[in-house]
């Protein structure tokens, strides 16, 4: 499923962003465009980080922004933003992020396959490093397709 959701349209590469709020907004835009989420989902993701801190930084250099299904999720979706210059989600260097993977789910179970695949991908530092070093959307897709992910 992950390889079907991460496409040229849902992957973005940028040099840098002004702050983590802009990073989340930009990372989620493809899901607004393909009608996986409503715009208020973006606000809910930002509000959640403001309320609970940088809990979405789930691995070194990686954040997984998401919100509750009722906050504007329309269908299961995933988008990826790769930043060449990291953005910090706090004053702690542990919260520097180069990859934002936005997840949209319509209920508590429909996205389990995607989460399984993401956890396998994110558990491999070499794969993360390869994606961060990638210079094109096609290269990122090839990296993801080359991995035998259980949840795919």
Per-residue pLDDT of the chain (152 residues; tens, 9 = 90+): 778 889 999 999 999 999 999 999 999 999 999 999 999 999 999 999 999 999 999 999 999 999 999 999 999 999 999 999 999 999 999 999 999 999 998 887 666 767 777 888 888 899 999 999 999 999 999 998 887 654 44
How far apart (Å, rounded) are the C-alpha atoms in residues 62 and 36?
Answer: 21
Could you tell me the domains of the chain?
2-145 (3.40.930.10)
Two tokens, residue 27 = 């990372």
Options 16, 66, 95, 111, the catalytic residue: 66
Q: Which of 79, 97, 64, 89 is CA-nearest to residue 34? A: 79
66 is catalytic: yes
Query: 53: left (phi > 0), else alpha (psi -120 to 50), else beta?
Result: left
CA distances for 30 relative to 59, 72, 121, angstroms: 23, 14, 21
Q: What is the pLDDT of residue 8?
A: 95
């Amino acid at each position: 499923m992950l390889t079907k959701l991460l496409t040229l349209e849902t992957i973005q590469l940028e040099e840098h962003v002004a702050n983590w709020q802009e990073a989340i907004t930009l990372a989620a835009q493809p899901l607004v465009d393909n009608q996986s989420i409503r715009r208020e989902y973006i606000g809910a993701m930002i509000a959640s980080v403001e309320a609970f801190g940088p809990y979405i930084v789930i691995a070194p250099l990686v954040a997984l922004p998401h919100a509750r299904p009722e906050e504007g999720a329309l269908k299961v979706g995933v988008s990826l933003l790769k930043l060449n210059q990291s953005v910090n989600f706090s004053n702690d260097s542990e919260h520097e992020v180069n990859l934002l993977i936005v997840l949209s789910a319509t209920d508590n179970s429909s996205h389990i396959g995607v989460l399984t695949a993401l956890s396998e991908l994110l558990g491999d530092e070499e794969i993360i490093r390869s994606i961060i070093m990638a210079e094109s959307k096609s290269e990122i897709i090839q990296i993801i397709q080359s991995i035998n992910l259980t949840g795919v």
